[in-house]
């Protein structure tokens, strides 16, 4: 015991500093944090307290005393957490389990160098490579602005989500990514539906490590050529987890061990999935499924987008245009197909009294996101007629109510899976009715690089109240908090392994949901960036991921849709989906030539499904990726580090699709 404890002190190196130099740098009023006492031992590692001196930082309200806790959680996982020891601040409610005592044998070294910049370094023991090197003296920890920067060992950086960007390996030339969940169709560099402050870095000698910044506040990261990373967030604490790999697969295994392994999807959900917004009635759905069958094109899933609902109301169906839907779903099941319904996270409050039980029951239970008063519900405008309220899924009572509603609805429509959409959450107003008050939460002194420079555009006001605090802290957890209750609902309703498809995601979502890359466009460029998105979500522990095959917005073309069908046959989640008013793009609508090619490529997918299923089993049990970049398998070959026009299924199959118009091969 005594011996073990000794070890932790050895790994803290106190560099000998020149006293004269240090004395002037401190006493002459350099701003920042300094160390007054030596680290003290804790059960999982050690702790130091830092004190701030000098002028206030840019946005004021500096926290004068902060603590740095270092936890040696496992051999390959280190946590370091910088927080206010005197006042509790918001922390992400994701449970990451770790043993009660510091790991006895660790693959990393820590150095805390008490010089004028007070450096905190993390090194890989086997090679001495410095994975993190940050100045604690320079960090900013004020109430609504927290900033930490670090040098990193190489420019092969992957991850950070959710964004559309041109290459899988990041451009490090002063690129800033904002992260804040948003109903935003893919647009270069913009903050999109999900938040994943996780990156993987491949070191120059081909070892890999990963880092999670566990924070849910609006934030940004800047990638610079030193190479370095600068994290800026407007709330919570600085909570980092480092995963030592050393292979890319090891990094994802260790990451998902911490945040939760991906769910094991039902086999049918690996089949071909067909969807669109804008089937005007059930006859058009039937005609579509029938023509798929006539051409012998494999199909396992048919979706019902909001068209199936009565007036876009959750837990209803349109008894005129979709008359006979329950019976039709039963027919589909007999043919071996499955039906997935969409549900939105807003409930109309304006239906006639006594007619809309989901709202009335929820209202009785007091389970909505509230205004800043903590009493009256936040009222937004979304798809249903009138105005809507938003379930606060962080509240266990809300989760129970949602589960109950889903389970009851199974008796109306015998669905097989649930697609949870618009859960950023989306609102068609700027903040809820009648607009956001002017205050520190709605208008913080610093707004990260997010669309419209606004925390309330297309969503609710940040000062709204949820069970775990203001939306200022919990906004980006909305879709994440909807995932577990939806998963549980399907389990209870069907008794089977659930399939949940979610648009908004956060760290740990893969435990419950699949994801698609959102409302993309029928453009060749979007076909290429879909590969990047799919590889990234595999790093994020959400391997069941795909993009809308043939594109959502804009009319597709014969050639683009055919090439996309060939690529999409190898998406882990293979779904063709289309927007309202766009022309039909199911693979049976373009005639015999298209149908023949689509059938043959999908038959290749189907012939490989046992392999794909095995990969998902390994993802679930070991945390492996399903689709992975070539650099996962050929890490020592730097040529592979930048490849994102081809990808692998597991270690054994490479897919190199045609991504260029008027091209007949890949050269």
Ligand X SMILES: *[C@@H]1O[C@H](CO)[C@@H](O)[C@H](O)[C@H]1NC(C)=O
Residue positions annotated with a catalytic role: 421, 424
Q: How far is the CB of 616 from ligand X (least distance, A)?
A: 37
137 forms part of the interface with ligand X (CB under 6 A): no
Whether the CB-CB separation of 228 and 587 falls below 8 Å is answered with no
**Helix (H/G/I), strand (E/B), else coil: 326:** helix
35 forms part of the interface with ligand X (CB under 6 A): yes
Q: Alpha helix locations (H) across 447-503?
A: 471-474, 478-494
Q: Which residue has the tokens 């070539």?
A: 630
Q: Which span sits near ligand X by CB under 6 A: 33-41, 426-434, 453-461, 644-652?
A: 33-41
Whether the CB-CB separation of 278 and 581 falls below 8 Å is answered with yes
CA distance 467 to 24: 49
Neighbours of 269 (CB within 10 A): 25
Q: How far is the CB of 303 from ligand X (least distance, A)?
A: 33
Whether the CB-CB separation of 261 and 540 falls below 8 Å is answered with no
Q: Which span sits near ligand X by CB under 6 A: 121-129, 461-469, 573-581, 644-652?
A: 461-469
Whether the CB-CB separation of 642 and 628 falls below 8 Å is answered with no
CA distance 36 to 49: 8
Q: How far is the CB of 147 from ligand X (least distance, A)?
A: 22
Tokens of 273: 């999935």
Name which of 51 and 126 has its Cβ closer to ligand X.
51
Name which of 134 and 316 has its Cβ closer to ligand X.
134
Site string for ligand X, 373-392 (x = CB under 6 A): -xx----------------x
Whether the CB-CB separation of 656 and 662 falls below 8 Å is answered with no
Residue 252 backbone class (left: φ over 0; alpha: ψ -120 to 50; beta: rest): alpha
Cis upstream peptide for 227 (omega within 30°): yes
Name which of 420 and 471 has its Cβ closer to ligand X.
471
Tokens of 468: 């775990």
514 forms part of the interface with ligand X (CB under 6 A): no
Tokens of 642: 């930048």
CA distance to 2, 97, 541, per residue, from 103 (Å): 14, 13, 24
Q: Which span sits near ligand X by CB under 6 A: 28-36, 132-140, 494-502, 590-598?
A: 28-36
C-alpha 331, offset from chain centre: 35
Name which of 22 and 580 has its Cβ closer to ligand X.
22
Q: Which span sits near ligand X by CB under 6 A: 465-473, 523-531, 538-546, 620-628?
A: 465-473
Compute the Cα dihedral for 256, 94, 64, 441 and give only its sign: positive
Name which of 108 and 467 has its Cβ closer to ligand X.
467
- Nearest position to ligand X, beta carbon: 366
Q: How far is the CB of 381 from ligand X (least distance, A)?
A: 20
466 forms part of the interface with ligand X (CB under 6 A): yes
DSSP state of 246: S
The residue within the footprint of ligand X, chosen from 4, 38, 125, 583 (CB under 6 A), is: 38
Q: How far is the CB of 46 from ligand X (least distance, A)?
A: 12
Q: Which span sits near ligand X by CB under 6 A: 5-13, 34-42, 254-262, 475-483?
A: 34-42
Name which of 45 and 260 has its Cβ closer to ligand X.
45
589 forms part of the interface with ligand X (CB under 6 A): no
Name which of 231 and 359 has its Cβ closer to ligand X.
359
Q: How far is the CB of 136 from ligand X (least distance, A)?
A: 11
C-alpha 165, offset from chain centre: 16
Interactions with ligand X, residue window 81-120 (CB under 6 A): 114
Q: How far is the CB of 392 from ligand X (least distance, A)?
A: 6
The residue within the footprint of ligand X, chosen from 22, 407, 447, 597 (CB under 6 A), is: 22
156 forms part of the interface with ligand X (CB under 6 A): no
Q: How far is the CB of 121 from ligand X (least distance, A)?
A: 16
Q: How far is the CB of 509 from ligand X (least distance, A)?
A: 22
Q: How far is the CB of 54 from ligand X (least distance, A)?
A: 13
26 forms part of the interface with ligand X (CB under 6 A): yes
Q: How far is the CB of 470 from ligand X (least distance, A)?
A: 10
The residue within the footprint of ligand X, chosen from 60, 166, 324, 366 (CB under 6 A), is: 366
CA distance to 188, 507, 574, per residue, from 192 (Å): 10, 14, 21
The site for ligand X, by CB under 6 A, has a size of 16
* Residues 426-463 as b or e (16 or more Cβ within 10 Å = b): bbebebbeeebeeeebbebebbbbbbeebbbbbbbbbb
The HSE-up count of residue 403 (CA atoms within 13 Å, CB side) is: 17
Q: Which span sits near ligand X by CB under 6 A: 98-106, 140-148, 463-471, 596-604?
A: 463-471
The residue within the footprint of ligand X, chosen from 52, 124, 182, 465 (CB under 6 A), is: 465
Name which of 277 and 393 has its Cβ closer to ligand X.
393
Helix (H) or strand (E) holding 134, with range, is strand 130-135
Q: Which span sits near ligand X by CB under 6 A: 368-376, 381-389, 488-496, 553-561?
A: 368-376
Long-range contacts of 436-443 (CB under 8 A, 24+ apart): 436/461, 436/462, 436/463, 437/372, 437/461, 437/463, 439/463, 440/144, 441/372, 441/470, 441/472
The HSE-up count of residue 487 (CA atoms within 13 Å, CB side) is: 19
The residue within the footprint of ligand X, chosen from 370, 403, 481, 625 (CB under 6 A), is: 370
Name which of 26 and 597 has its Cβ closer to ligand X.
26
Q: How far is the CB of 489 from ligand X (least distance, A)?
A: 22
Q: Which span sits near ligand X by CB under 6 A: 149-157, 211-219, 369-377, 411-419?
A: 369-377
Site string for ligand X, 158-197 (x = CB under 6 A): ----------------------------------------
Site string for ligand X, 467-506 (x = CB under 6 A): x---------------------------------------
DSSP result, 185-233: ---BT---S-BEEEEEEE-TTS-EEEEEE---SSEEEEEETTTEEEEEE
Name which of 469 and 638 has its Cβ closer to ligand X.
469
Neighbours of 13 (CB within 10 A): 14
396 forms part of the interface with ligand X (CB under 6 A): no
Neighbours of 280 (CB within 10 A): 11
Which parts of this chain interact with ligand X (CB under 6 A)?
22, 26, 34-38, 114, 366, 370, 374-375, 392, 465-467
């Amino acid at each position: 015991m005594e011996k073990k404890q000794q070890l932790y002190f050895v790994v803290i190196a106190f560099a000998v500093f020149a006293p004269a130099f240090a004395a002037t740098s401190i006493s002459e009023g350099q701003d920042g944090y300094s160390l007054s006492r030596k680290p003290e031992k804790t059960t999982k590692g050690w702790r130091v307290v830092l004190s701030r001196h000098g002028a206030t930082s840019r946005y004021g309200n500096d926290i004068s005393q902060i603590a740095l806790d270092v936890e040696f959680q496992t051999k390959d996982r280190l946590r370091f957490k910088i927080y206010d020891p005197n006042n509790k601040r918001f922390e992400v409610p994701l449970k990451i389990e770790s043993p009660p005592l510091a790991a006895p044998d660790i693959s990393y070294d820590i150095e805390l160098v008490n010089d004028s910049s007070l450096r905190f370094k993390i090194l890989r023991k086997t090679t001495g490579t410095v994975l993190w090197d940050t100045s604690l003296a320079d960090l900013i920890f004020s109430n609504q602005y927290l900033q930490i920067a670090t040098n990193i060992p190489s420019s092969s950086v992957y991850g950070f989500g959710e964004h559309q960007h041109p290459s899988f390996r990041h451009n490090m030339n002063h690129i800033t990514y904002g992260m804040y969940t948003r109903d935003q169709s893919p647009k270069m560099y913009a903050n999109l539906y999900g938040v994943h402050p996780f990156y993987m870095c491949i070191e120059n000698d081909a070892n890999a490590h990963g880092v999670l910044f566990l924070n849910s506040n609006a934030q940004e990261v800047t990638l610079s050529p030193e190479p370095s990373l600068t994290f800026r967030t407007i709330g919570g604490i600085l909570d980092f987890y480092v995963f030592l790999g050393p292979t890319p697969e090891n990094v994802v295994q260790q990451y998902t061990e911490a945040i939760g392994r991906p769910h094991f999807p039902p086999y049918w959900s690996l089949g071909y999935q067909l969807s669109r917004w804008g089937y005007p009635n059930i006859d058009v759905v039937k005609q579509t499924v029938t023509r798929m069958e006539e051409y012998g094109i494999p199909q396992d899933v048919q979706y019902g987008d909001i068209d199936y609902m009565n007036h876009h109301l959750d837990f209803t169906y349109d008894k005129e245009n979709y008359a006979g839907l329950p019976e039709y779903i039963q027919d589909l099941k007999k043919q071996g197909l499955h039906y997935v319904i969409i549900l939105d996270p807003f409930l109309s409050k304006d239906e006639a009294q006594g007619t809309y039980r989901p709202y009335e029951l929820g209202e009785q239970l007091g389970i909505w996101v509230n205004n800043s008063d903590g009493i009256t519900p936040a009222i937004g405008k979304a798809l249903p007629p009138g105005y809507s309220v938003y379930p606060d899924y962080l509240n266990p009572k809300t989760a129970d109510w949602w589960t109950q509603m889903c389970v009851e609805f199974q008796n109306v429509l015998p669905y097989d899976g649930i697609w949870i959409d618009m859960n950023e959450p989306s609102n068609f107003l700027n903040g809820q009715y009648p607009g956001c008050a002017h205050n520190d939460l709605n208008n913080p002194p610093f707004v990260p690089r997010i669309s419209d420079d606004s925390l309330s555009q297309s969503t609710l006001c940040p000062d709204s109240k949820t069970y775990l605090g203001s939306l200022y802290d919990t906004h980006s957890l909305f879709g994440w908090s909807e995932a577990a209750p939806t998963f549980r609902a399907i389990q209870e309703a069907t008794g089977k392994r659930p399939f949940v498809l979610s648009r908004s995601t956060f760290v740990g979502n893969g435990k419950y949901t699949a994801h698609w890359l959102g409302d993309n466009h029928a453009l060749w460029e979007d076909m290429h960036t879909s590969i990047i998105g799919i590889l990234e979500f595999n790093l994020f522990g959400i391997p069941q991921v795909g993009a809308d095959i043939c594109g959502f917005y804009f009319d597709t073309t014969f050639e683009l849709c055919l090439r996309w069908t060939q690529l999409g046959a190898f998406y882990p989640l293979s779904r063709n989906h289309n927007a309202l008013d766009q022309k039909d793009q199911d693979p049976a609508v373009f005639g015999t030539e298209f149908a023949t090619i689509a059938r043959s490529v999908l038959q290749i997918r189907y012939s490989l499904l046992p392999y794909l299923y095995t990969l998902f089993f390994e993802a679930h049990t070991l945390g492996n990726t399903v689709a992975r970049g070539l650099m996962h398998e050929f890490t020592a070959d730097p040529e592979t580090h930048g490849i994102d026009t081809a990808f692998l299924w597991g270690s054994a199959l490479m897919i190199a699709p045609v991504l260029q118009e008027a091209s007949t091969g890949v050269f």
